[in-house]
Structure 1
């Protein structure tokens, strides 16, 4: 058993960790490009102006299936021609698509950045919005599902991270 632990540790550390300075630069940059579903939800739930707009970059059929309340619907393919009429260039945009297995939010963020917008991608997308138990809107009206205990704390307001 001890030799298996040594082999596993060697595998994990085959490429050594980055220096603390390089790690700080990398993770700091990562936070400049990404927003957490829970943080976005809490900012929107607090009321008032959150200082950003949420953009759903999916198709109309996907939007109708469910979306973040208050989000702007603008499919990625239409960003170049419609963003100026829907978005204020002075307000940062948080993009989302289906979930972690979809790069649609990154494509939308790229399209917006190329037009001069400040932008972040909401990690987890619509999937984690629903899985974490936040209210969403659909053709049926407002909906909310019980939070998945594998994605959100059961007995706390937030995960503490």
Structure 2
């Protein structure tokens, strides 16, 4: 009798290669974001899509705050479609980053999700920032 792991056979290697390679086009992780920041190789816009109060309590250093509901063509007019957005939310229990990624992709922007969100960041042992950063849509004033 096979184990529960082998109860459903693994995909053939070629299919597994395609699947896992494709996932990396949609996702990045906290460690890659942190390392990129430490090496000064920040060629992406890190966006915390939670509400302003959650952002103020603690966010990933270098992130800007654009709550998901404010991701609109008007709010993003200062960005070009060459800008890569990396979005995150509270953590794996929240789909705010997925919703934000859908909005950004629908507007023509390249986007990746930072898997794990704030929870993943803390699990990696990285510190959150409470430094207030100016959001490009701060004038809209989200109080969610």
Range of TM-score over shorter length: 0.7 to 0.9
Q: Give the Cα–Cα distance (whole angstroms) in 2 for the partners of residues 120 and 25 of structure 1.
A: 18
Which stretches in structure 2 are left out of the alignment for 5+ residues?
Answer: 133-144
Deviation at 1:136, TM superposition (A): 1.9
Q: Which of 104, 108, 111 matches 1:116? A: 108
Which stretches in structure 1 are left out of the alignment for 5+ residues?
Answer: 1-5, 141-161
Q: Give the Cα–Cα distance (whole angstroms) in 2 for the partners of residues 64 and 16 of structure 1.
A: 46
Moved over 3 A (4+): none
Give 2:46's aligned residue.
54
Q: Give the Cα–Cα distance (whole angstroms) in 2 for the partners of residues 14 and 105 of structure 1.
A: 33
Aligned residue pairs total 131
Give 1:127's aligned residue.
119
**Preserved CA contact (<8 Å) 1:63 1:73:** yes
**Higher RCO structure (Cα 8 Å, ≥6 apart):** 2
How does the TM-score come out when normalised to structure 2? 0.84
Q: Give the Cα–Cα distance (whole angstroms) in 1 for the partners of residues 128 and 70 of structure 2.
A: 23
Give 1:94's aligned residue.
86
Q: Which of 18, 29, 39 matches 1:36? A: 29
Give 2:128's aligned residue.
136
Q: Give the Cα–Cα distance (whole angstroms) in 1 for the partners of residues 77 and 18 of structure 2.
A: 33
Q: Give the Cα–Cα distance (whole angstroms) in 2 for the partners of residues 114 and 93 of structure 1.
A: 13
Deviation at 1:89, TM superposition (A): 2.3
Q: Give the Cα–Cα distance (whole angstroms) in 2 for the partners of residues 73 and 126 of structure 1.
A: 13
More helix by share: 1
RMSD: 1.7
Deviation at 1:70, TM superposition (A): 1.4
Deviation at 1:139, TM superposition (A): 6.0
Counterpart of 2:9 in 1: which secondary structure? coil
Q: Give the Cα–Cα distance (whole angstroms) in 1 for the partners of residues 108 and 130 of structure 2.
A: 31
| Larger-Rg structure | 1
